[in-house]
Amino acid sequence: MYKIFPLLGATAFLIALGGAKADDVDKGIEQVTSDDGIDRVEERLRTALDERGMVLVTMVDHSANAERVSLSLPPTRMFLFGNPEVGTPMMQCQGGLALDLPQKMLLREEDGTTLIEWNDPNYLAWRHDLDDCDLPLEQVAEALSGIANQAAGN
C-alpha cells in the first residue's frame, strides 16, 4: 500500500505542470566539466564575469552551510549574477521569471572533476511561457556558455 504514494506524487507533479511531458521536465541544465579544482575554476569564473561586466550578486557555499550543521557535501558553490539590462526586460515580459533570475551557475566537485552547471535560457523561456516576448535568448545562451567554458579553462 505504501509503495503507491511515490507514484501518485509523481503523477500529481506532472499534472500540476499542465500536462508537460516527462522529457520536458528533465531538460534545461547545461554542463561543462573541468579537470581543475573548484578553487581554480571559481577564480576563472569570477574573471569571466568581471570581463563581461556581469554583476556578481552573491556566492552561496553549500558545502560550508552543510558543515555548519555537521553534515558533509562535496565542494558545492552557487554563483548568482546578471546584467540588469538583459534581465529586467525578461522580468517585464513575465514577472514570475524573477524566480529564476539573477542567473545562476553552480560549481561542484564530483569524482575528481569540477562540474559547471547552469539553466538553459531557452528552458527558462519554456518554463515561464515567454513565447510572446522578443528576448535575446540565443545571445544569453552564448554568453553563459562562454562564461562556463572560460571558467572550465577551455
98-118 pLDDT, tens digit each: 999 999 999 999 999 999 999
Q: What is the CATH number of the domain that holds 70?
A: 3.30.310.70
pTM of the predicted structure, to 2 decimals: 0.81
Residue 107 maps to a domain = yes
Query: Would you call 143 helix, strand, or coil by DSSP?
Result: helix
Q: Which domain holds residue 127?
A: 27-152
Q: Is residue 15 part of a domain?
A: no
Considering the chain, what is the average pLDDT of its residues?
86
Residue 148 burial by Cβ neighbours in a 10 Å radius (0-12, 13-18, 19+): buried
63-102: pLDDT as tens digits = 999 999 999 999 999 999 999 999 999 999 999 999 999 9
Residue at 40 is within a domain: yes
pLDDT in tens, 16-46: 344 444 454 457 999 999 999 999 999 999 9
Nearest-Å Rg of the Cα atoms of the chain is 18
Residue 32 lies in a domain: yes
Q: Number of folded domains in the chain?
A: 1
* 48 in a structural domain: yes
